[in-house]
Amino acid sequence: MDRFILLMLASILAGFALLKAPLTGTFLSGLQPVTDLIGILAIVIFSLVLIFKGVMALVSK
């Protein structure tokens, strides 16, 4: 499998990890909205890249 695709999948998983990170009760609790935004953006952007790469692979064959 292509290393680029594995990197995109790992980035999507990292986005989900940022969304599920329990920051309440720590000194980072003020950063919760920022980490949620970064996680959502990572999931959306890297998912769109994977969809684009898949469509391009289907069209080229």
Q: Taking the alpha carbons of 34, 43, 13, 49 in that order, is the dihedral positive or negative?
A: negative
The token duo for 38 is 């970064």
When pLDDT is averaged across residues 45-53 and rounded to a whole number, the result is: 95
Check residues 25 and 44 and name the one with the higher pLDDT: 44
Average pLDDT of the chain, as a whole number = 92
> What φ, ψ does residue 27 adopt, rounded to 5°?
-70, -10
Query: With bands split at pLDDT 50, 70 and 90, how would you rate the model's confidence at 38?
Result: very high
pLDDT at position 1:
62
The token duo for 52 is 């684009």
